[in-house]
Chain A
């Protein structure tokens, strides 16, 4: 082994030397080393976990969530021509349709996963001695057997055939080949004949139904889990559909929701009030920091402190300022401006609530804009500003003619970020407006989901917010890009 290795290593330099001009003795001409497919795939291998993560935890749930807004899982009930999963579709009835129940029949229960509202019946496979003394076996409806023996776990194992009551009743009980009323009779048992129960089948009841309001439609079979039966046992309604359909119903339900226009208008109003103020403030704060005063870093810390607070905490903080015996009332009373505490946050003082929300949002979220603008300011070359100063521009002229135009890309980023966040404003509004008096889109999403348990309309709200955010981002990108492109060409 050692010899072999030595021989190899001794050969290699020789091959390297003659590599340029392969001779007849050189079986294998030396080639420049090209990266194999393995090394070319490395970046893809590296990014694969991120893609999988993205698909699993972002794209898929988001798709599912948004589908709720436009896809009704149980929009329609399919009626089939026989009480079986194999039956052919003959009619579709929408959810809530009144039904006449024409018949019922058990059918093997195939899928028990979400079987909560279904009606079931049990059939027993029984064996016993027939009238002629022979041993017979067959299926019979649970009600035909009086259970007398049970196993330790409660499973019925034996009993007797019940007598039939009523005049003219056939006294024998038929045993069927299969646990199905339509199957063939294989034997009969006398009443009170002792039987052993060999097997139990749980059947789901299927109803033969027809739309009550429109008797011209065909009747068909449907499993009981989709049908709500009224007390008279002869009528009912489609409780839930068996197949999904795309629908605009949830979206129009959202638009027609009594809180929608309030929520939408308040969200817009808050945005219109907050964004301009926020950008002016952020610009001023950024200029203060960029001026590199003695306490410059101190300003930065003070300005960015609110970024570290949860928005709900900020809402509660401002609530405590505006509340009955809060800071504002205390100050106003101390200065004798008010005689007693004024109620700022109530259904009668909505402007005050809006004011408080604007204040809290300004306090909370201005610093993120400022940070973006500060970074943009610091990217402007010092000499450019010095040139402007030297050529006669005063401070505000420098801001107007040099800084602002060069800050456009930063402002664009901040605008997109802040507008999207403004569509999502929630916790501060909840804390200060309680969620009823002043409501916003995100609050309605929350309320539809948790209070009204209406996932679909909640999802429609979420979709609406998403579309608004995307549209505004698109708008800013187009609007500001148009200007920066002019600035570059």
Chain B
């Protein structure tokens, strides 16, 4: 009973449209991650759900109830803030119990739920301390405990890990994911970190310039991005893109794409889509780990000179120019390569993503 529906929500600050016609349904008990570069409107959308910044138009419902213009406390939600927003003058115990106290929960119930929440986050020994002397990680735990103690059906998280150092963030990511799987709340989690998005979310909504670009499970978002932006934003290194020339055979034969000297043959199911592209250009996208690096000349492979080799332990990251575009390709550490070496690169047909250069949308059969 806590499905969140966002229908045609708009929100602008002055001339700037921060959220542009957002439509999104977050299923009950789902963990949805809103991800995008800074300024993309993800936090604005979250605040519209929270009621901290009302939408200009559109409708937001939680569990079927229209909450678009309700104040936050009438929405049955709880939230973890980016700055944690712990109350500095209260003990941890009072911080965690604050929401319950404000909602008139009786004191024995408050202390039970405060203790439960503190136990979940392993901060029982901090309960009677004040936040001033605590580390960032401890405050973060207090903020999460405070949100969980509410046992609200909707849990909102605004970049909760962004103020932690890298190691702690990695640790917290897994812990938070496990924790949130246990609490069964519908969770909306905002982050600018695509790895966080992929690793935590049941589904990921990618935003750019106030527009939701794609909503899908992490694998789909990674493997079948909806457009060039999603491909380049999700994944590290980002998806490689290179220009190709469309060669539509006049006899109605299959369309081929020429990249440099190499001719690529798209899947026949894409034929009609490729034919309708306005112009003779198509963008070819491929992920670093999906290319095949060959030590010897091979048909249908690009001859390239490796300019940089970055050994990353589990893989080597090679930088090179393919048909005038800088590309990154990852190879297994056992593949012998050094800077300046000549290699041959092959694009496996099923790993290539085709982008309409006019709309930047990816085409799938």
Contacts and interface: CB of A to CB of B under 8 A. Distances in A.
B130 A487 contact: yes
B52 A386 contact: yes
A401 B94 CA distance: 11
Contact of A488 (B71, B73, B78, B132): B132
Contact of B89 (A383, A391, A405): A405
Most B CB within 10 A of own CB, among A390, A394, A401: A390
A184 to B, nearest CB: 90
Contact of A391 (B98, B130, B133): B98
B82 A383 contact: yes
Counting contact residues on chain A (CB < 8 A from B), the size range is 20 to 34
Interface of B: 50-52, 71-73, 77-79, 81-83, 85-89, 98-99, 102-103, 129-130, 132-133, 146, 150
Nearest to B98: A391
Given A390-B72, A390-B79, A391-B99, A381 B85 contact: yes
A489 B134 CA distance: 10
Contacts of A405: 89
26 contacts: A381-B83, A383-B82, A383-B85, A384-B87, A386-B52, A386-B72, A386-B81, A386-B85, A387-B81, A389-B73, A390-B51, A390-B77, A390-B99, A391-B73, A391-B99, A391-B150, A392-B73, A392-B99, A393-B73, A393-B102, A394-B73, A401-B87, A487-B89, A488-B130, A489-B129, A489-B133
A466 interface: no
A417 B71 CA distance: 38
A101 to B, nearest CB: 77
Contact of A487 (B50, B83, B88, B146): B88
Given A388-B87, A394-B73, A489-B133, A383 B102 contact: no
A406 B129 CA distance: 17
Contacts of A155: none
B155 to A, nearest CB: 11
Nearest to A389: B72
A386 B156 CA distance: 13
B351 to A, nearest CB: 44
Nearest to A393: B102
Interface in A369-399: 381, 383-384, 386-394, 397
Most A CB within 10 A of own CB, among B98, B132, B133: B98
A198 B103 CA distance: 107
Contact of B79 (A387, A394, A406): A387
Contacts of B79: 387, 390
Given A487-B130, A489-B132, A392 B102 contact: yes
Contacts of A393: 73, 98, 102
Contacts of A488: 88, 130, 132-133
Nearest to B81: A383
Contact of B146 (A383, A391, A401, A406): A391
A406 B52 CA distance: 21
Contacts of B72: 386, 389-390
B83 A391 contact: no
Contacts of B77: 390
A386 B51 CA distance: 10
A402 B99 CA distance: 13
Contacts of A389: 52, 71-73
Interface in A309-350: none
Nearest to B102: A392
A377 to B, nearest CB: 15
A391 B102 contact: yes
A433 to B, nearest CB: 43
- The 6 nearest A-B residue pairs measured at CB: A391-B99, A392-B102, A387-B85, A383-B85, A487-B89, A392-B73
Contacts of A388: 87, 98, 102
A487 B89 CA distance: 4
Contacts of B86: 384
Contact of A406 (B73, B81, B89, B132): B89
Contacts of A386: 52, 72, 81, 85
A406 B50 contact: no
Most B CB within 10 A of own CB, among A391, A393, A397, A405: A391
A324 B78 CA distance: 62
B71 A489 contact: no
A257 B296 CA distance: 112
A389 B51 CA distance: 10
Contacts of A402: 87
Given A401-B98, A402-B87, A487-B89, 8 more contacts: A384-B85, A390-B78, A391-B73, A392-B99, A394-B102, A397-B102, A405-B89, A489-B133
B315 to A, nearest CB: 40
A401 B102 CA distance: 10
Contacts of B88: 384, 406, 487-488
A402 B79 CA distance: 17
Contacts of B82: 383
Contact of B103 (A387, A392, A401, A406): A392
A488 B88 CA distance: 7
Contacts of A390: 50-52, 72-73, 77-79, 99
A388 B77 CA distance: 12
Contacts of B98: 388, 391, 393, 401
